[in-house]
Amino acid sequence: MSLAFDPAAAVAHLRAADPPLARLVDQVGDFRLQPAATASVFGALSEAIVYQQLTGKAAATIYGRVKALFPSGPRGRNGHDGPTPEQILRVSDDKLRGAGLSRAKLLALRDLARRTADGSLPTLAEVQTMDDEAIIERLTEVRGIGRWTSEMLLIFRLGRPDVLPVDDYGVRKGFMIAFGKRELPAPRDVAQRGERWRPYRTVASWYLWRALELAKK
C-alpha cells in the first residue's frame, strides 16, 4: 500500500501554514510514514482488535496464537495472513479464549467476521472509493471498533492524507510539547489548530507523534 498523496507537497504546506510546526519538522527531519501492506479490511481490523489495550509484544504473542489455530489460512508475501471470516465463525469459543482472547475481543472478532461474510463490511476495493468519514461510519458499526481504530486504519493501512486523531494521547501530548503548552490540550483545541493543516493533517499527526518520541530521548 502506498501513500495517497505527495509527502513533499504536504510538508511544504505545513511549513507555510504553521511556523511552530515547521520548527518541529526541522527537528524531526523527513516524513517517513510507509503504510503497512493490507490484504483485506477484515485482516487489518481483526489484527487491530487483538492489539487493543495491550503492549505490542503481548498482542503479537496472542495474535500469533490465533493465527496458529488456522494453519491452512491464507498466506501472503509476509507469511500467514491470519484467519478468514469463515474460519473465525467456525472455531469454538474455547479455542479462541485459549489463544488469549478476552470475551470482549472474541465477540468483536465474531461480529467482524459475520459482517464481512454477509457483505455489510466494505471490501478493500470499496474503501478505496470512499471518503474518510464514510469509512469511519461503516467500520464503527462493528462491535469493538471505534473512531480511533478506524483512524489508525486510514493512516497506517490506507495512507490517507487528512486524518487527525484528536483523541489519541500521543497526538495530544506531542501537540503540548510542540506548541509549548503547560497542560494536555483538549481534543477540540487540537482540532481547531488542525484546521490550518488541512488537507494534510495525517502528516501533522505523524510529526506530533515524533515530538513525543524526541521528548523521551
Catalytic site residues? 168
Kindly state the cell numbers that stand for 116.
464481512
Find residue 79's DSSP bridge partners: 76
Cα–Cα distance between 17 and 37 in angstroms, integer?
31
Grid cell in block for residue 43: 485482516
CA dihedral over 142, 145, 147, 149, signed as positive or negative = negative
**66-94 exposure pattern, b = at least 16 Cβ within 10 A, e = fewer:** bbebbeebeeeeeeebbbbbeebeebeee
Question: Which CB contacts under 8 angstroms, 24+ apart, belong to 120-124?
Answer: 121/41, 121/42, 122/41, 123/40, 123/41, 124/38, 124/39, 124/40, 124/41
